[in-house]
Copies of this chain bind each other. A is one copy, B any other.
Amino acid sequence: MARLSFREQVLRVREDAIVSSVNRLLADKGFDLMTVDEVAADVGIAKASLYKHFASKEALAAAAMVRLLERLLAILDQQAARADASAFQRLEAVIRWALTQQLAGEMPSVPSQNSSLRAELLANKVYLELLLQVSERLGRWIQQAQADGDIDPALPPEIVLLTVYARGCDPVPVFLKASGNFSDEQITDWVMTVCLRGLRPGR
């Protein structure tokens, strides 16, 4: 990749700061309740300046989602590098990472219902490409884990994949944290247990 000029580097840094604010605000309030004014205030620039970087509120959210997927891909790389780990253990680590992000208030939440945002995301080539990559890699681990007998082979991989994704936007851990009765570690462990082994007593 060509070396970036100083101007371009400054641009990158600024846009990264914007995306970080959007990420936090999306995690905090969700897309509908997040306002562009808040984003501008949080970044510390004028709203009109935001629109020089991103064409719309939807584009802001899309950028945050793209960065989330990039971070997720990095986690997948990291797990793939663990030569000793089984596919199931890698999946476990990915879910655990998602829970950590949620409890840290850094998991952006975008309602799958919002039509304007949904349309923007489905039209976003970069986002779709990353989502496809993530799904394919998770899908391979899921099928491997099923072959290993670590995940029920009777379950369609589609359901397993959706379940993994759903843990990323599950309200349970945040509610438990809000109750103040448990530590983050306890919450993570219990939610992992329920996810993998269900509510029934241990095997």
Contacts and interface: CB of A to CB of B under 8 A. Distances in A.
A30 to B, nearest CB: 5
Given A149-B201, A153-B201, A203-B200, A162 B176 contact: yes
B176 A158 contact: yes
A163 B190 CA distance: 11
A172 B181 contact: no
A160 B195 CA distance: 12
Given A32-B32, A158-B181, A169-B171, A199 B114 contact: no
A152 B202 contact: yes
Contacts of A175: 112, 162
Nearest to A27: B113
A179 interface: yes
B160 A166 contact: no
A138 B156 CA distance: 31
Contacts of A193: 152, 155
A196 interface: yes
A159 interface: yes
A128 interface: no
Nearest to A116: B33
Contacts of A160: 199
Interface in A144-181: 149-156, 158-160, 162-163, 166, 169-172, 175-176, 179, 181
Given A176-B159, A190-B156, A171 B112 contact: yes
Contact of A194 (B179, B182, B198): B198
B163 A172 contact: yes
The 7 closest A-B pairs by CB, nearest first: A198-B198, A32-B32, A197-B198, A152-B201, A196-B198, A166-B172, A162-B172
